Structure formats: structure tokens, C-alpha cells
Amino acid sequence: MYRLPELEKTRPLNAIALLTSGGDSPGMNPAVRAITRAALNQGIQVFGINRGYSGLIIGDMTELTSSDVTNIVQRGGTILKSDRCLAFKDPVVRNQAAEILKEHSIDGLIVIGGDGSLTGAHLLTQETGIPVIGLPGTIDNDVYGTDDTIGFDTAVNTALEAIDKIRDTAVSHERIFLVEVMGRDSGHIAAQVGIACGAEMIIVPEYEFKLESLCFSLANERATGKGSSGIIVVAEGPRPGLTYRLAQQLQEQGENPGVCILGHIQRGGRPTGHDRVLSSCLGASAVTYLQAGYSDIMIGMINNQISITPLQEVMEKKKSLNPQLVELAQLLHK
């Protein structure tokens, strides 16, 4: 069970604001609900900023009540909407955003998003002094300082459900299917999905991949009569089109692979119970840490305990893929 922080209140808060930024992820709504109700129960006014930093720089915010966040815990996406705001990279724009927060008498800001959004939060507080707390909201699970990010578990389960259906055709036709999952330059989704679905192989950007070894493995299994899952899970990687390039190369080696790009289906849908509990704990903890005088940190979860990491570290350090996951996938395939 998660252990929540018990901290002394050292910073009086009259009003706080929150926003969701970057790519949406299942679990953002439970986090919004948790922040709102945790704050309201402490007598703190709450403002929801619409469309992330894009809404902040024009002052598009609405006061939230308890009823505003009723029945959103099960909804995917974010009721506050989200956006990727390139203008926020400009320090002049960040200063304007700080002035808007001050005009609304906002005492602290909570940002839910990935590494780009958390970088914006760090720069905002460093340059303007506005207290800021970050929460890791991304399906990619590539944020340093937390074992788990909001939306990752749901994305894994969504991909897994799709692959279980694809497998029916793969087995019926004795055909290989390349299934691409999201993750940018991170293989966290691919690794967990690959193990969970019993994939033939997982291909992730963190480890070198040799097509020859795959073709040899497929030919050897056919020759020895071993069974095959028919599924190869591919992380999308930093360069678009990897899965189609692999399919073409396999065709040149005599294979007839199918290609399924799962794409944005992995971002949608109802958050899993795990993501609902995780985001609720992180959201409520964000209010606690703001009240305790903290700022410029990200709240995450390490070994089932709430943890804090300076946003500077989140910016500078990269979360690595556990090599044992890749080794396990290879072991269980043999």
C-alpha cells in the first residue's frame, strides 16, 4: 500500500492552480480530482487552467468546486484539456504567465505532464519564484525520479488487449505480426507489453537489434517444430517508420509479416485501477508538499512510497530501461 507524506504546514495557501500539459494520459482526471478535493478540504481555493501552458499565458482559468470533479475519476483524457505550448520556451512569456498567476492571487501551481512540461515548470519557478510542484503524467514512463508515471499502466493494458486479438489472426494464419507501440525513444511500454503477451521478440531503442538473428530464430523454430507467438513488439523509436522498414526487410528474407500500428489508441480509454490510485496519491501529496513549503520538485513513486526529486534532476537525468526486462523476454521466448 502506498504511504502518503505527513508534513508540517509552513506555507499558507489561499489559492492554487493546476494544469495538464503535453500529451494526455489516462489518470490525469483522477489527479485533477485529487488535487482539487485535497485542497478544498484544507480551505484552499482551486483554479483549473485550460489547455496547459497555452491557457496559462492568456489567463484562461476557471475556479473548480468539488462538484466540478465529480464522476471524472473513470474518464480518460483530461477535463482541463492539454496542449504543447512552444511559446512557453520564451522567458518573456514565462514571466507574463507568472504575472497572470499573481493577478489571480495564486500561491502555487501544480503541473501534470511529461519531461517537457516539467522542464517548463522548473524554469517558471526558477525565474519568477512562483512555487511549483510537478507530477509525472505520461504513458511513456520515461520520466526520471519515479518507478511509474500516470497513464503508463493503462497504456500497457490497452496495448496488451489489442495484441491478444491480433494474435488470433497470427496463429490462425501462422504469420508474424509486427506490432508497434508508443514510447518515443523509450522502450518501457514495449518491454512490459512484450513480456505480458509472450512476444516472439521485443525491439527497443535502448538495445541494438540485428535482423539476421530474428530471421534465424524464425527459421529455426519452423525447422524444429517449436511454437511461435507470432508477435514481435516494436517500440516506435525516435525515427518514424521503423516498423515498416523492418517489415520490408523481413519480406526480403522470405517472410510475410503483417504490420499493426497501435498509435494513439494507447493514450485513450478508462484509466486502470492502478493508475487511478497512483494519480490520486500523487495529486493529494502535491497539495501536502506545497503546504509544507516545497517547490521545484516532482512527486513520484519509488518502491511504493511517495518520493520527491528536484525538477533540475528530472531535466538532466534519463530514466533507463531495466535490462532484466529485456533478458526476461528473451529467456521466456526460448
Nearest CA-CA partner of 122 in 112, 108, 113, 134:
134
Same domain, yes or no: 156 and 96: no
Where in the sequence numbering do the catalytic residues fall?
140
Q: Is the model more confident about 326 or about 28?
A: 28
CATH of the domain at 168: 3.40.50.460
d(CA 266, CA 159): 6
Same domain, yes or no: 212 and 302: no
To the nearest whole percent, how much of the chain has pLDDT over 90? 75
d(CA 57, CA 87): 9
Per the domain annotation, does 182 fall within a domain? yes
Per the domain annotation, does 78 fall within a domain? yes
d(CA 119, CA 123): 6
For the cut 90, the answer to whether the pLDDT of residue 175 exceeds it is no
Per the domain annotation, does 8 fall within a domain? no
Same domain, yes or no: 28 and 135: yes
Fill in the DSSP letter of residue 87.
G
Same domain, yes or no: 32 and 84: yes
Q: Per-residue confidence at 8, pLDDT binned at 50, 70, 90? A: very high
Same domain, yes or no: 284 and 145: yes
Q: Per-residue confidence at 218, pLDDT binned at 50, 70, 90? A: low
Same domain, yes or no: 122 and 21: yes
Listed in sequence order, the residues at least 6 apart from 114 whose beta carbon sits closer than 8 Å to its beta carbon are 22, 23, 136, 137, 138, 140, 142, 143, 149
Give residue 203's region: left, alpha or beta (phi > 0; psi -120 to 50).
Answer: beta
Per the domain annotation, does 192 fall within a domain? yes
Same domain, yes or no: 157 and 146: no
Fill in the DSSP letter of residue 319.
P
pLDDT in tens, 230-277: 899 999 988 888 899 888 888 887 888 899 999 999 999 999 999 999
Same domain, yes or no: 142 and 291: yes
Q: Is the model more confident about 139 or about 211?
A: 139
Per the domain annotation, does 10 fall within a domain? no
Q: b/e per residue, 177-187, with b = 16+ CB within 10 A?
A: bbbbbbbbebb
pLDDT in tens, 113-139: 999 999 999 999 999 999 999 999 999
Fill in the DSSP letter of residue 304.
T
In terms of residue numbers, what domain contains 39? 15-151+271-316
Pairing of strands 201-203, 297-302: unpaired
Same domain, yes or no: 309 and 247: no
Q: Per-residue confidence at 47, pLDDT binned at 50, 70, 90? A: very high
pLDDT of residue 249: 84
For the cut 70, the answer to whether the pLDDT of residue 220 exceeds it is no
For the cut 60, the answer to whether the pLDDT of residue 1 exceeds it is no
Per the domain annotation, does 323 fall within a domain? no
Instruction: Tell me the mean pLDDT in the region 90-114.
Output: 97
Per the domain annotation, does 174 fall within a domain? yes
d(CA 235, CA 199): 13
pLDDT of residue 229: 66
> Is 144:309 a contact under the CB 8 Å cutoff?
yes
Number of compact structural domains in the chain: 2
Same domain, yes or no: 26 and 143: yes
Same domain, yes or no: 141 and 259: no
Phi, psi of 14 (to 5 degrees): -95, -35
pLDDT of residue 174: 80
Strand order in the sheet with 45-49: 61-64, 45-49, 15-20, 108-113, 132-136, 297-302, 305-310
Which pTM was predicted?
0.94
Same domain, yes or no: 241 and 165: yes
Computed over every residue of the chain, the mean pLDDT equals 92
Phi, psi of 46 (to 5 degrees): -125, 135
**Burial tier of 15 (Cβ tally within 10 Å: 0-12, 13-18, 19+):** middle
Instruction: Tell me the mean pLDDT in the region 181-205.
Output: 91
Q: Strand, helix or coil at 276?
A: helix
CATH of the domain at 286: 3.40.50.450
Per the domain annotation, does 298 fall within a domain? yes
For the cut 60, the answer to whether the pLDDT of residue 198 exceeds it is yes
Instruction: Tell me the mean pLDDT in the region 162-179.
Output: 90
pLDDT in tens, 277-310: 999 999 999 999 999 999 999 999 999 899 999 9
